Amino acid sequence: MTCATPRFQNSDDLPHPPCDIPEPAMPFLSDTLSRVKPSPTIAMTNKAAELKAEGRDIIGLSAGEPDFDTPANIAEAGRRAIAEGRTRYTAVDGIPELKRAICVKFKRDNDLDYTPSQVSVGTGGKQVLYNALMATLNPGDEVIIPAPYWVSYPDMVLLAGGTPVTVACGIAAGFKITPDQLEAAITPATKWFLFNSPSNPTGAGYSWDELKALSEVLLRHPHVWVMTDDMYEHLTFGDFRFCTPAQVEPELMGRTLTVNGVSKAYAMTGWRIGYAAGPEALIRAMAKVQSQSTSNPSSVSQWAAVEALNGPQDFIATNNTVFERRRDLVVAGLNAAPGVTCPVPDGAFYVYPDISGCIGKTSAGGTVIGDDEAFATALLEEEGVAVVFGAAFGLSPNFRVSYATSDAALEDACTRIRRFCEELR
């Protein structure tokens, strides 16, 4: 029996349904689902994995996670939690020990005073962001999102019934929103300003002065709340100093949700622990959403996160030295490719080169590079390098490289990208 054509928007993202189970008729699926698209980063990662399985020599630069193992003391805390039987349901939005560790972290790293009742713990930063949007958005509510953005923001807003309002922040502005742009985007329907620093996909970080200038706009619009995604706080380089809105402008504290997590800084992507701090009424509403969806995040992972936040922090600097070296290697390698301009990022483990100079040309394999998706697809097929095209992040023509992989793989990838660009006609 042959499979019916999968009805998903992108069959790379979702498994094909088994042949002998009838697919539901389309009206069975919710209208909400039709508004969102599957993650393009996962699609590229899957496509690369497929080619690899066929025996092709593929370098994957599309995954957004550190290539380091979870530090031994943290993994041991997880094992200890199992051995000690800490394997039952916990309080919905986090054990008290973790909430206390998060408060200590906010004081230590950001000079922010939060109490445990102002803290929410979820299954990754992703769930925490989603809970906050679900808990606050009504139809017609707008969320301002600077583009390029993390792929999930607009879709999460749509899933929660709101309207994403994206603001293009180009390479000339360092991929950052200006106070004038923010002012112009605010309407009476604006509920949140949602942003991320250092950024996935650009690595751009907002300085203290830049956040102060944005705060001044926000102070003029008391109905707008701030959702700051600080997931890459600890992955910063050189002179860049991380700061967060509630720290820069304490008057915003009462309408700011400061989101963070252990995934990136502690190489704990699979443990699934994220957290946020903000006004108690919002935190309670987020717990309500979580209580009727997933309940508590994994008990074992919560105990590992307590150790991550309370234990030694020195490996963060060690990892950053590695990431900074790779950043420099990739920036130099990409800037050597004709038609590519790669700015130097402040943090995270991504670069987001502009490829205006490649658009309209034809690859050695005969693909017309009409846009960044065509560029990324031809690059994967012809040179075996998997990157994510810029349209996925809302700003083109660009592509995102995740440099959380070995120096040798990065050098090889840069050589291939350079060759691909040199051969464009």
What is d(CA 134, CA 70) in angstroms, rounded to the nearest whole number?
31
- For the purposes of burial, counting CB atoms within 10 Å of the CB of 5, is it exposed (0-12), middle (13-18) or buried (19 or more)? exposed
Q: How far is the CB of 280 from ligand PLP (least distance, A)?
A: 23
- Given the complex with ligand PLP, which of 151 and 376 has the nearer CB atom? 151
- Given the complex with ligand PLP, which of 210 and 233 has the nearer CB atom? 233
Choose which of 78, 125, 333, 345 interacts with ligand PLP (CB under 6 A).
125
CB atoms within 10 A of CB 412: 17
> In the complex, which residue's CB is closest to ligand PLP?
124
What are the backbone angles phi and psi of residue 149, rounded to the nearest 5°? -130, 165
Residues in contact with 341: Cβ distance below 8 Å, sequence separation at least 6, in sequence order: 171, 335, 353, 354, 356, 357
- Is residue 150 at the binding interface for ligand PLP, with CB under 6 A as the rule? yes
Choose which of 200, 236, 296, 396 interacts with ligand PLP (CB under 6 A).
200
Structure tokens of 369? 């590079």
Amino acid at position 62, single letter: S
- In the region spanning residues 270 to 289, those forming contacts with ligand PLP, defined by CB under 6 A, are 274
Single out the segment in contact with ligand PLP by CB under 6 A; choices: 120-128, 165-173, 369-377, 401-409.
120-128
Tokens 């008729």 — which residue? Answer: 25
What is d(CA 68, CA 235) in angstroms, rounded to the nearest whole number?
13
Q: How far is the CB of 236 from ligand PLP (least distance, A)?
A: 14
Nearest to 385 by CA among 420, 344, 359: 420
- Is residue 269 at the binding interface for ligand PLP, with CB under 6 A as the rule? yes
210 HSE (CA, 13 A, CB side): 20
- Is residue 261 at the binding interface for ligand PLP, with CB under 6 A as the rule? yes
Q: Between 299-310 and 96-110, two packed helices, what is the crossing angle to 10 degrees? A: 30
Q: How far is the CB of 128 from ligand PLP (least distance, A)?
A: 8
Residues 404 and 65 sit within 8 Å (Cβ to Cβ): yes
Choose which of 45, 46, 190, 196 interacts with ligand PLP (CB under 6 A).
196
- Is residue 64 at the binding interface for ligand PLP, with CB under 6 A as the rule? yes
Q: How far is the CB of 319 from ligand PLP (least distance, A)?
A: 16
- Given the complex with ligand PLP, which of 231 and 351 has the nearer CB atom? 231
Amino acid at position 108, single letter: R
Q: How far is the CB of 114 from ligand PLP (least distance, A)?
A: 19
Q: How far is the CB of 147 from ligand PLP (least distance, A)?
A: 13
The binding site for ligand PLP (CB under 6 A) comprises 64, 124-126, 150, 196, 200, 229, 231, 261, 263, 269, 274
